[in-house]
Amino acid sequence: MSTLSMFTDGKQFGVSRQYYSGLKSRDHVSENVRRMRQIQRKCKEREAASNQPVRPMWKSEKYKDVSSKIKTDIIEKEPLPPRPCSADFLRAHSRSGPPVKGVRSHTPVISPPEDKLTVPRAQSAADVRLTRNNINFVKLNGICAKHAKIPRCPSVNALDELREKNESEMQNYHRGEVPKYLRSRQKKWKQEEEERIANTPDPALPPGHKVLPEEERKQTLALLKQNENELLRQLRALPLCMDTVRVRNKRLELEGKLAEVEEAVKIFARPKVFVKVD
């Protein structure tokens, strides 16, 4: 008798093959079904022994006087009259959705005359023969895939050339021109606006005065500065060591004129100078 070697905790045991051949496999599926049936049988016996009535469903007292619409529609409603025999047939366009307004449901089909037909008219359904071209679509798709051109991504140089071309086209693009009558009208509007601004009275203008023109103001300011420089030159030319009455009076006179000229320079240096009207 042959034996099998088993190792457990460092010990060797010999088990005969006859021991394993004597064991039978268990049918767990059958045992589970048998166990489920036993549980069902016990549950039914327990329910039959209790003899308790079935509890009704809960219903709110608020709707106890409300009648059932299903009962009214199904039980109390009168049955429909019997349909004729033609009702067993399928109506035209019954599966194509709701009818479209303005379209007749029964449009007569006008068949072409016999002399216009390229194929003789069939007398029955058995005479109809469908023509099918035996095309090998697998081979045709393979040929098309072989000769198809694969689009390639454009190179950097091609992209640069395309961008330069677009920029040159935008630069050389001939835009619309303003018509001549509009240009003349715009020029006239501009002149009228300038005249209106020039003739508008200054809110800071005091009564009885007028604004000195810009050219006169600049000329007067230049003359005042020249006079100021001349007075400064004369004041520097006076002797400092001699303090006589004549020199003292001359110095006082020059300083008074210089103060008047400096005050006039401050006035005419403003952007607007108001002059009293005589």
pLDDT of residue 39: 93
Task: Tell me whether residue 227 is in a domain.
Answer: yes
Task: Tell me whether residue 147 is in a domain.
Answer: no
Residue 221 belongs to domain spanning? 210-276
Q: What percent of the chain has pLDDT over 90?
A: 11
Residue 184 · residue 190 · CB < 8 Å: no
Task: Tell me whether residue 265 is in a domain.
Answer: yes
Residue 3 has pLDDT above 50, yes or no: no
Task: Tell me whether residue 28 is in a domain.
Answer: no
Q: Which residue has the higher pLDDT, 203 or 236?
A: 236
Task: Tell me whether residue 97 is in a domain.
Answer: no
Q: What is the pLDDT of residues 99-128, one digit of tens each?
A: 545 445 445 556 666 666 666 666 666 666
Residue 98 has pLDDT above 60, yes or no: no
Task: Tell me whether residue 56 is in a domain.
Answer: no
Long-range contacts, 108-115 (Cβ 8 Å, 24+): none
Q: What is the pLDDT of residues 130-143, one digit of tens each?
A: 666 778 888 888 88
pLDDT of residue 7: 42
Task: Tell me whether residue 233 is in a domain.
Answer: yes
Residue 53 three-state SS: coil
Q: Which residue has the higher pLDDT, 115 or 171?
A: 171
pLDDT band of residue 63 (cuts 50, 70, 90) is confident
Task: Tell me whether residue 27 is in a domain.
Answer: no
Beta partners for residue 40, in sequence order = none
Residue 65 has pLDDT above 90, yes or no: no
Structure tokens at 82: 């019997």
Residue 124 CA to residue 122 CA, distance in Å, equals: 6
Task: Report yes or no on whether pTM surpasses 0.75.
Answer: no
- Domain total of the chain: 1
Beta partners for residue 14, in sequence order = 5
Mean residue pLDDT across the chain: 76
All residues at 6 or more sequence positions from 227 whose CB lies less than 8 Å from its CB, including other chains: 261
